[in-house]
Structure formats: structure tokens, C-alpha cells
Structure 1
Amino acid sequence: MYKWYLPTFSEILALGEATPSSRPTTVVQRRVKAEREWFGAIAALNQLLQSIAPLETSGSVKGILLSGPLPVLTQPDLVNQIATWTFTVGDPGKVSLRLPAAMGGESCGIAPPTLPLLPDDPLAAEPFCLVLTPHFSLAMALGETVEGTPTFLFSFEPEIVWQVWRSLQARLMLVSPQPLSLLNGLVEQFPTVAPDYRTVMQFSRLMLANLFDLETEGKRVQVVPKAVAKTGAKFSAMSFASPFGKPWQAKKSPKKGGTDTELLQAIAHEVRTPLTTIRTLTRLLLRRKELGADVIKRLKMIDQECTEQIDRFNLIFKAAELETTDTSTPLSPLAPISLAQVFQQNTPRWQQQAQQHRHTLDIILPQQMPMVVTDPTMLDQALTGLIDRITHSLPPGSHIEVQVTLAGHQLKLQFKSQSQTDCGADGKDKYGFAPVLKSLGQLLMFQPETGNLSLSMPVTKNFFQALGGKLIVRQHPQQGEVLTIFLPLDNRRVDD
């Protein structure tokens, strides 16, 4: 029944939980969906622990967390309150007996102590996490269902969590029994408990909210706006219609390239996975206190470059998914969101994108910004992709202007650019810059001079239509390419 002598986390969880949704149709889609949920759950767990830990007044350990193959706690204050170990493949004879920071060990600038797994143990290839606190017990894993389908699984059930702990306990007895007395004592302090239903609801809400916030693409979710929550008005995401037609009825590219599209999705996934690992390790290094200023600067550059490439391939993957999906229901419900907040959160990043190519960027916003109805999870990624396309297509020293204005029952976002140099008859400026975009299939454009990949314009238009909006492209002799996006307004509220 099991792959090995002892069951993995996912094998235990799969037997005790309901069958997960099977909407994605390919193995790649299922794997990526599971990874989205895993990273969203990690972020939710950190937030949930932070909301609980400050309530404790004593200086003792607040809980125990066992994970593998990487640490999952991202907040230093949590590392100092929760006893944390990381299971990883290692030499059983060189097991680290160092105490976690929460138990008087070294500071949170040092990676948590590790416990060994055998190289042939399938658990070594399965991201997992076990948490025991006085308030709840939780086990989760990024693994496979009984049928072998990639999936994310989690459980708050005390019996399931206890079985998971017993599988780890048996592994330690087999590989390295030295730490068991300490771990057994901690587990006795935090026996598995049935959580309050509000804790499970809070975790689920946090997980949904974080699916798109961890720079790895997320599962699309319905978001209820604060304005509706405050007024108590009945909300239905399906009640918000785009004036440009149903988003899921956007024009699709011909299906003859379906195999190529699946290959592109697989490549996008394989690129993002190692980049996400590199970024995770980089951020763990940045938490160390003994780093010099120059090292910190270079690590931040690595973090930034990884983030940009992860986001770029997130966008490519989602566009490929859109182009190959035939469904009678929308890929994501539309909901009112604050466009002012989108600009506030992303303007520093867009400014940095422009500065990297020696451009200037001005963003002109109205004094009052109405709420717009769109996909609340993907709009910022789509706008960032558009800024990225513009910055790579202009000669150095250009000026980019983004202006937001009201246009009847829509909000208009216009992207203009002005080169600071005159172009000659050959189309080159004084720097010799003459951008050439080559088509890579139906979805992508490639710029040989920079190696930059971007979505083709038809696919970009389809993408914005899927977000409930409309993208119009105009060519001007002096201003070059002018991009205009129209988004429908939510007329019930205006942000100050």
C-alpha cells in the first residue's frame, strides 16, 4: 500500500481526507495548482501562528514545528517562540543536537537544527509540515493522492495528525534515535487537539488570500470587497459583468498549437521551481546577522532578479492556460478592488523596472480613484508584465507616462512613451537601439538583443479581456505605441 516501509505525509493525509478537486486536466496543471496551495498554506500558517503566539504570556515554548526539506517559518519572532526542526537527507552519524532558538538555542539568524532522513525515503522528496500547539494540530504536505495525482493535502484532525507524528517518530527510531527523548517530551506537552472551528476558518481564509501573494502563481479565488462586508450588502461575484463581453469568451488562438502550449506550461513550471528554491534560500541567508553590507546588497539583487523572472513565467503560464481552456464558466470571478491600492503597492517596483533600463516613469492618478471590477488576483501581474514589455522595447533614456482618468462608466489607463533621442532612417537611435521582436509560436515574442520574453499582443489583449477589461493599441508617429486599458467601474464606492 505504501511506497516505502513507512508512509509519507501525503499517503496518510490522502487516506483521511476527501478527494481534492480534479478541475485541472493535465499533470502539469495539477502539480502547479498543488504548489500554489502549498505556498499559500505556508504563508497562512505563519500568519495564524503570529496571531496566536502574542496571546501567550509565558516565556516557554509555544509549540513545535517539524518540516522538510526546507524550513517554513519566515518570521524571526516565531522562530524564537516555536521549537523548529527541519528533516533533510543527511548522515545519521552527524545529526545536529543543537536546540531550536525557542528552547534556548542560537538566534534566529541561524538556520534551524536538522534531523536526518534516509536518501531512499520518499518523504525526502515531499515538502511537509507538522505543527503542534495548544490551540490546534496541523499536518500538511505537497505530495500525491492515492491515485498518484499531484496534490496539496492538509488536516486538522487529531487522529490524522497523530498518525503523521508516529510516522516521523518511527523514522527517527530507524535512522537516529538520539533526539527522540527531547521530541517525545515536547509532543507530550502539545498533544493533538481538535481545533476551534474559527481557527480552521481563519486558516482557510488566510490561505485563499495568500495564494497569489507569495510570488508563485496562485489559485484563483473569489474575493469579497471590504465595502460590501461593511454594508452587509449581498454579494455575488457573478453579478459583476464586464461591458466588453464575458471574460471567458475572449478570442482564443487556434488550437493547432495545443501541444506547444502544454510544453510551454511545463517549461514555465520547471523554470519557476528552481528559481523559487533559490529565492527561498537567499531570503534565509538574508536573515543572518553577520552578513556584510556588500553581501546583503548582492543577495537582494539575486532576490529581485528571481522575483522578476518568477512573475514573468507566472504570467506566461496563466496566459497559456487561458488560451487552452474551454469552459462555460469564468476562470475567475470578477470583484470590486481598489485600483489606488494596486498602484500604491506596485509603483516602487515599476519605478525600479524603469530605472534598470535608464528610463523615467511618471504615474498620474486622479484625486479620487473609483473601485474597478476585475480579477483581484491577476491585475497587478498583468500591469507589471505590460510595464516590463514597454521598458524592454524603448531606447535608453526614454520617458514613460501612465495616466489614469475617468471615461464614463470605465476607468482608462493609458501608457505613453517618449524617446529622448531622434531615430534615423534605419529606425535606430543614437545608441544604435533598434528593438526587434520575433514571434515564438502563437503566445510569445522574443527580443534577441536582450533575451527578453513577452506575451504576444493578441494574447495580451485576450488576457486583459479575461480580467474584465479591454486593451487597445494605437501607433503614433511621435509617441510610438500607445496602450490604453479600460476597466469597468464599481459605482457603489469611490476611494478617497
Structure 2
Amino acid sequence: MSAAGEPVSLEQLRHRLAEGVPAGSSDDDSVRRQWWAALATLQEDFLLPLGAQQGVWMASPLPALHEPALLQQLQGWVWAPAELGDLLQAGSPLLPPGVSTAPARAAGGFQRLPLLEADGTDPLLLVLTPRLQVAMALLGDPGQRRLVVRFDPPTLSAALSLLDERLQHTDPKQGQRLRQAIQALGPLQSDEQLAQRFWPRLAERLAAMAPSLTLQPLVHRSAAADATAASGPSSELALLEALTHEVRTPLATIRTLIRSLLRRSDLPELVRQRLQQIDGECSEQIDRFGLIFLAAELQREPPSEDQALARTDLARLLEQLEPVWRQQLLRRSLAMELRCSPELPPVLSDPARLETVLGGLVDRFSRGLPAGAVVRLSLQPAGARLKLRFSASAAVLVEPGEAAAAERVGPVLSWNPGTGSLQLSRQATQRLFHSLGGRLAERAGNDLTVFFPVAQA
């Protein structure tokens, strides 16, 4: 406990875990990929092979474990933001109708505890079983991020002491339950070779993880932006960022396993087709939630007119992306048409970031269309700009006013009760395109246009 009588923060715990570990040099996106791979490695390669066993786990700011067998066997405690309760109430647009909102311990094997402002929102996980004990955390300033994984008993003992001190101050009853659960494990065996086996497996998994467009860093926050976000009401955005990362974690694991199966030559053709469909759905959702995360990051940035844009061949970019989008739409029984005027000049934008945001716009535009509709994209000159227009076949145009049925969910998301679709809000989408030099204009019905400035010779 601090000298002022404040409870131990989880940020203090992360720094204790990092003692003696070299400083990091990763950006946030890179270190998050390491976290996802470490979670999958820990669960699939180390915990599950141990079979049924007792144990406890502690995590923040969301449950890190996602293997059902582990959640059923182990007792858990999760320090989560208070806003999480509001977002998961019955009737919330983040939950489909009929989903139970029973206490988390009954549904997923963990007890929820309040997250304090000083705790931060970086992920943290401790797991204790009779045969394996480990602590994992992310921490560090922008550009100096790092993944810390500790197996050594002295560090784990110090971490548990800090958590016990925290619970004695904030929730003595839960502190007693945690101590009893740890004592019930009996003598703990520590494998001295565990770290030597863990890091090579983590490296193999990272190498096998196929990259996703929105796993690339699209928004780089400055120190001034971090200070602005910390001083403002950013807890909702921080929670949204954490949620999107946690959604993508199991999806990335599923996709990695599927792609390892697809390398086999003895698969029946029907099985191969089904696996390819699942792979496509996983990739689509990983990219979709990644774009939501990036929109939340951008929302926390202060407005700036200083944009680093470059000459971008938009027509060529659209032609390169057309097969990917066509396949994506085909899974929803939608068709696609692309028409580009000849000899179009380049525009000012950022091709790497634009590729991702345009993919998100295709998803957002097509999500409410019925099967059989045709998504039409056209690119043509419009004075000193190029006009990229999205439209749908006339038979499925919605009536004026239907587009306004979407309800905003915070500063980034909107929710359409009629279709059950959760997507980026119009304001968040406009800001994304503004950061890329574009201007989004959305009319009533299925019709929207993005204008990009033509690059000077």
C-alpha cells in the first residue's frame, strides 16, 4: 500500500513483474500480437496438456483465458472496468436478444472485481496450478512496449503478495477466498525448464500467425495525445479498445489452426471448402474489430491538420482489392461491380491505411443488404478530386429515413436494431477518412461517396 493509504494498483504489479526485464522497443500493435500468441501458447501447449486440474487465475481488464475446459476447471478473479457492467446489461446493443446476464462467476468461472483509475488498461494474467505457475503482462510507454512473462517463484510470490495487499484494502472477503483457493492447491511444483520451452513455442506461433491488414499500426499516438486522453472521459474508449482485442484473440487462434490444416494434402474437397469459409469469416471479423479499435484510438487523438499523405494510385488499389472484396461479398450472396474511368491521376492519401479503411467501408455499406443485391463501386474525376461512389442495385434501395434508424453506442459505434448490426458510426467513419485526406458524403438510402484530392504533378 502506498504511503498515502492508497491500495496497490495493478500498474504497480506490472512494474514488479518487469523488474530485471530489458526495456521494450515495440509499438502497441506489435506487442498486442505477442500477447495473443502468448495466450494461445500458454493455454494450448502448456495448460491443456496437463489435463483436468485445480487452479486459480487472475486477469485484468478482461478475462484473458478463453479455453472452455480451463474456465470450467479453474477459479478466476477479473478486475474489470465499471462500464463493462453497463455494456453487458440485458438489452444492450452489444448483446443479442435472449443472452443471459447472470453473474460472471456462474457463467464463466470468475468473480468480477472493480478496476481503479490507477490500474490502467494494459492486459495482465496470473495462473497458478499445482504443476504450472506463470504471470504475463503488457506495459511500457509508446514505442517502448513489451511483453513480460515470468515463471520464477520469487517474482510470482511477490506478485501474489501485492494482490493480497490490494484485496485486503478493497475487498477483504474476496482476499480470503483467494488465499483459501491457493492454499487448497497444496505444494506447487515449479519446472525450471518451463521458460526455455515457452519462448521457442511462442516464436513458432508468432511466425505461423498470418498477418491481417488491421493488425498493422494505423494510428500512432503521441505523448501529447496520451496526456489529452488521460485527462478526459476516455474510459469508455479504453474499454472498447480492450474488448476488440479480446474478441480478436480467439479468432486469430482459430484462423492459425485452420490454416495449418489447410496445408494438408489429404483433405476431402468439401472439408477444404468449409475450412476456407471459416478462415474467411475469421479474417473478416478480425479486420472488422481491428478497424473499430483503430477508430477508438483515433477518437482519443486531438484533431490535427498535419497529415503525412503521399501520392496514391487509387484505381490500381481498388483493382487489387476487388478479388478480396468480391469473395467477401459472395459469402453473403452479394455481387460486386467495379468501374474506374481510364487514366485517372493519383490522389493524396496513405495507401497502407487506406486499404484497411476502404475494406471496412465495404463491410459497413454491404452489411444490411439482402441476398442477391449488387454492390457497385465507381471511381471517376470530379474537378480537383476523384469521386469514389458506393451504390446498390435499385431494387434494394432503402426508403429515406431508414438509414437514420441506427442508434449511436458511444462515440465510435452505431447499432441497427432492425438488422442486428453493430458497426462504426457515421462520425467515426468520417473521421477515419478525414485522417486519410478524404471526405465522406452519405445520402439517404444505399448511396455514399468519398472524395479524395488529386495529387499535384
2:244 counterpart letter in structure 1:
A
- Which residue is equivalent to 2:32? 35
Cα drift, residue 329 of structure 1: 8.2
Alignment of 1:198-347 (within 5 A): 213-220=211-218, 258-326=234-302, 333-347=308-322
Alignment of 1:88-487 (within 5 A): 88=46, 120=132, 122=134, 151=146, 171=193, 213-220=211-218, 258-326=234-302, 333-420=308-395, 436-475=405-444, 480-487=445-452
- Which residue is equivalent to 2:25? 20
Conserved? CA contact 1:395–1:419, under 8 Å: no
Cα drift, residue 361 of structure 1: 1.9
Cα drift, residue 341 of structure 1: 3.5
CA distance 1:297–1:414, shift in 2 (3 Å): same
- Which residue is equivalent to 1:489? 454
CA distance 1:413–1:37, shift in 2 (3 Å): farther
Distance 1:298 1:144 in 2: 39
Higher share of residues assigned helix: 2
- Which residue is equivalent to 1:130? none
Cα drift, residue 372 of structure 1: 2.1
4+ residue runs over 6 A deviation: 10-13, 172-175, 422-427
Q: RMSD of aligned C-alpha atoms?
A: 4.6
Cα drift, residue 170 of structure 1: 6.6
Conserved? CA contact 1:221–1:333, under 8 Å: no
Cα drift, residue 309 of structure 1: 0.6
Distance 1:412 1:347 in 2: 17
Cα drift, residue 262 of structure 1: 1.4
Cα drift, residue 441 of structure 1: 2.2
1:471 counterpart letter in structure 2:
L
Conserved? CA contact 2:408–2:414, under 8 Å: yes
1:362 counterpart letter in structure 2:
E
Conserved? CA contact 1:412–1:484, under 8 Å: yes
Cα drift, residue 335 of structure 1: 2.2
Distance 1:313 1:90 in 2: 28
Cα drift, residue 298 of structure 1: 1.4
Distance 2:363 2:212 in 1: 20
1:295 counterpart letter in structure 2:
V
CA distance 1:457–1:422, shift in 2 (3 Å): closer
CA distance 1:121–1:355, shift in 2 (3 Å): same
Unaligned runs of 5+ in 2: 1-16, 51-129, 149-190, 201-206
Q: If the length of structure 2 is used for normalisation, what is the TM-score?
A: 0.55
Cα drift, residue 144 of structure 1: 5.6
Deviations 1:294-342 (A, max 9, x none): 2211111111111111111111111111111227685x73222332342
Distance 2:397 2:348 in 1: 40
Aligned length: 304
Distance 1:424 1:409 in 2: 32
Conserved? CA contact 1:315–1:381, under 8 Å: yes
Conserved? CA contact 1:34–1:151, under 8 Å: yes
Distance 2:20 2:339 in 1: 51
Report percent identity of matched pairs. Answer: 33
Unaligned runs of 5+ in 1: 1-9, 23-29, 43-66, 72-85, 93-117, 127-141, 154-168, 176-182, 184-206, 223-247, 428-433
Cα drift, residue 358 of structure 1: 3.4
1:320 counterpart letter in structure 2:
A
Q: Specify the SS of the correspondent of 1:491.
A: coil
Deviations 1:94-146 (A, max 9, x none): xxxxxxxxxxxxxxxxxxxxxxxx95354xx77xxxxxxxxxxxxxxx96669
CA distance 1:333–1:33, shift in 2 (3 Å): farther
Distance 1:403 1:371 in 2: 15
Distance 1:422 1:214 in 2: 32
Cα drift, residue 424 of structure 1: 8.7
CA distance 1:329–1:293, shift in 2 (3 Å): same
Cα drift, residue 404 of structure 1: 0.4
Distance 1:90 1:296 in 2: 27
Distance 1:352 1:218 in 2: 22
Q: Specify the SS of the correspondent of 1:420.
A: helix
Deviations 1:142-192 (A, max 9, x none): 96669xx85269xxxxxxxxxxxxxxx9727999xxxxxxx9xxxxxxxxx
Deviations 1:185-241 (A, max 9, x none): xxxxxxxxxxxxxxxxxxxxxx9xxx995345222499xxxxxxxxxxxxxxxxxxx
Deviations 1:422-467 (A, max 9, x none): 879997xxxxxx9952322232112334432211111111110011
